[in-house]
Amino acid sequence: MAAKPAGGLVTRIVAGALLAAIAGAAAWAGGHAFAALVMLVIVIGRWEWGDLVAEWRLHRLLQMLMLPAVVFVTLVRDALHGLVALAVLLFGTAVWRLADVPQVRAGWRASLAGSLYVGLPAVALVALRDRPDGLPLLAFVLGTVWATDIFAFFAGRAIGGPKLAPAISPGKTWAGLAGGVAAAALFGALLARLADWNPAMTALAAAVLAVVAQGGDLFESWMKRRASVKDSGTLIPGHGGILDRVDGLIPVSVVVGAAVLGAGLGPGGGPR
> Percent of the chain beyond pLDDT 70?
95
Confidence of residue 239 (pLDDT cuts 50, 70, 90): confident
Three-state SS at 240: strand
Q: What pLDDT does residue 104 have? A: 80
Q: What pLDDT does residue 10 have? A: 87
**Count of domains forming the chain:** 2
Q: What pLDDT does residue 271 have? A: 57
194 has a pLDDT exceeding 90: yes
Task: Residue 83: name the closest of 91, 259, 44, 93 by CA.
Answer: 91
The domain in which residue 93 lies consists of: 31-129
pLDDT in tens, 97-127: 888 777 788 889 999 999 999 999 999 999 9
Confidence of residue 266 (pLDDT cuts 50, 70, 90): confident
Q: What pLDDT does residue 4 have? A: 46
Tell me which of 271 and 98 has the higher pLDDT: 98
* Pair 123, 173 in one domain: no
Q: What pLDDT does residue 47 have? A: 97
pTM for this entry: 0.92
Rounded to whole angstroms, how far apart are CA atoms 27 and 225?
32
6 has a pLDDT exceeding 70: no
* Pair 108, 138 in one domain: no
* Pair 68, 176 in one domain: no
* Pair 185, 260 in one domain: yes
73 has a pLDDT exceeding 70: yes
Side-chain half-sphere exposure of 216, counting CA atoms within 13 A: 25
Q: What pLDDT does residue 105 have? A: 82
Tell me the residue length of the chain: 272
| Section 170-178 average pLDDT | 93
Q: What pLDDT does residue 101 have? A: 77
Distances 97 to 5, 80, 117, 118 between C-alpha atoms, Å: 46, 25, 18, 19
Domain boundary among 97, 129, 161: 129
Rounded to whole angstroms, how far apart are CA atoms 231 and 169?
12
* Pair 261, 164 in one domain: yes
* Pair 116, 243 in one domain: no
269 has a pLDDT exceeding 70: no
**14 in any annotated domain:** no
Q: Is 101 left (phi over 0), alpha (psi -120 to 50) or beta?
A: beta
